[in-house]
Amino acid sequence: MSSATSEHDKRRGKAEDLALETDLGWAIRMVSAAFSRVATESVSELPGGPRGYLVLVALAGGEPPSQLALAKEVSLDRTVMTYLLDDLEAHELITRRPDPRDRRARQVLITDTGRTRLKQVRHGLSAAEARLLADLSDQDADQLRTLLSRVAQTAQRESIAPAEADC
């Protein structure tokens, strides 16, 4: 291989590295916009739409968190969380009770009605996700979910850590 050909290949390789379809920011933006569109349609019947859905998912997973812990977990402002929980409670999807460990705090619990609605919404959202992930095998889709979850956890941890360090 001549040195001219080698230089051409290096320049071409760098140009390919800069291609739009290999840019992480572009890919995240495209997927985020498409997912937001299909997900918003799927959860539009829930009080709070996507935010209400995230709250129900977070509550369905285990121990009832305090309102503050829940707000941190789903990355919502405390004031926004209060209004959202009021709306979800008015529709009997959640309930709140005093935290037995700290009577000043309130625990948030998903109701049976909330679990039923979550299951219905999750079914519609799964169909929407399938359309978005149509070009991936089941294994690739599972791997994508796993990797994105890990990146999201890092992003959440990194955005929370500086604020906690200031206290």
DSSP 39: H
Residue 63 predicted with pLDDT over 90: no
Partnered with residue 109 across adjacent β-strands are 95
Number of Cα atoms under 13 Å in the Cβ half of residue 139? 0
How far are the Cα atoms of 1, 13, 34, 42, 43 from residue 155, in angstroms, in the given order?
45, 30, 20, 25, 24
pLDDT at 121 over 70: yes
Q: How confident is the model at residue 2 (pLDDT cuts 50, 70, 90)?
A: low
Task: Give the tens place of pLDDT for each residue, 3-35.
Answer: 555 565 555 555 556 677 788 889 889 998 998
pLDDT in tens, 127-146: 889 999 999 999 999 999 99
CB atoms within 10 A of CB 96: 16
Name the token pair of 74: 């789903």
| This prediction's pTM | 0.73
Give the pLDDT confidence score for residue 164 in this predicted structure. Answer: 41
Question: Mean pLDDT across the stretch 107-125?
Answer: 94
